């Protein structure tokens, strides 16, 4: 019986050491959350002032779902988020042209197990990397802000924000 318990405890110790390998450091996660969020918000602003691509907006909102800072994310998932989501849906019912359905609802209605699984796991970092690659591919294909390949301030800011998006995601991984 003792031999079985010692074997079980050594197996549990090995599993915990392997799990510790996949845990992220707090500084990397914090830099990813704040830096990635600022970069994604800058890209959203550039998208709204540019060609208003809904594909870019959807990809950036998914990125924000994963990279949003924990304190602010918990506020959005609480009562405040419920009220904002309710007001957004009501505004869309009465003024559909003026107020389209917001992608903000994904922050409120995403199940806890999915949101926590994406936010606190390596899968979320890989998913953010894939989202960044999709943004770059869409830009290269000519669906984005720099589609005319003119060197202007908006295109330069877009390229910098995309590079910061990749930098903070790689820092997280």
Q: Is 129 helix (H, G, I), strand (E, B) or coil?
A: helix
State the Cα–Cα distance between residues 171 and 99, nearest whole angstrom. Answer: 37
Give the count of beta carbons closer than 10 Å to the beta carbon of residue 57.
15
18 in a domain, yes or no? no
Phi, psi of 126 (to 5 degrees): -65, -40
- What is the percentage of the chain residues whose pLDDT exceeds 90? 0
48 in a domain, yes or no? yes
16 in a domain, yes or no? no
What pLDDT is recorded for position 96? Answer: 76
73 in a domain, yes or no? yes
Q: Burial level of 96, CB count in 10 A (0-12/13-18/19+)? A: exposed
What pLDDT is recorded for position 170? Answer: 84
Give the residue with greater pLDDT, 24 vs 51. 51
**pLDDT tens digits for 70-105?**
888 888 888 888 888 888 888 888 887 776 677 777
28 in a domain, yes or no? no
What pLDDT is recorded for position 80? Answer: 86
33 in a domain, yes or no? no
What pLDDT is recorded for position 124? Answer: 84
Range of the domain at 100: 41-172
21 in a domain, yes or no? no
77 in a domain, yes or no? yes
State the Cα–Cα distance between residues 150 and 51, nearest whole angstrom. Answer: 14
Where helices occur in 1-152 by DSSP H, the ranges are 2-22, 26-49, 54-67, 70-76, 79-94, 105-109, 112-119, 122-140
Give the residue with greater pLDDT, 114 vs 7. 114
Locus of tokens 């506020």: 75
**pLDDT tens digits for 111-148?**
888 888 888 888 888 888 898 888 888 877 765 555 55
Task: Provide the domain count of the chain.
Answer: 1
State the Cα–Cα distance between residues 133 and 145, nearest whole angstrom. Answer: 16
The mean of the pLDDT values for the chain is 76
């Amino acid at each position: 019986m003792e031999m079985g318990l010692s074997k079980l405890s050594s197996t549990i110790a090995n599993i915990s050491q392997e799990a510790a390998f996949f845990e992220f450091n707090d500084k990397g996660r914090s830099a990813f959350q704040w830096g990635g969020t600022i970069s994604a918000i800058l890209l959203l602003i550039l998208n709204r002032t540019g060609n208003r691509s809904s594909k870019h907006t959807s990809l950036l909102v998914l990125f924000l779902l994963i990279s949003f800072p924990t304190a602010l994310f918990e506020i959005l998932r609480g009562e405040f988020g419920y009220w904002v989501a309710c007001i957004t849906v009501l505004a869309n019912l009465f003024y559909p042209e003026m107020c389209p359905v917001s992608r903000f609802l994904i922050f409120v209605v995403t199940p806890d197990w999915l949101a926590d699984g994406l936010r606190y796991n390596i899968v979320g970092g890989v998913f953010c990397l894939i989202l960044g690659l999709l943004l770059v591919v869409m830009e290269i294909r000519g669906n984005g802000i720099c589609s005319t390949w003119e060197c202007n301030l908006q295109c330069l800011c877009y390229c910098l924000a995309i590079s910061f998006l990749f930098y903070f995601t790689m820092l997280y991984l």
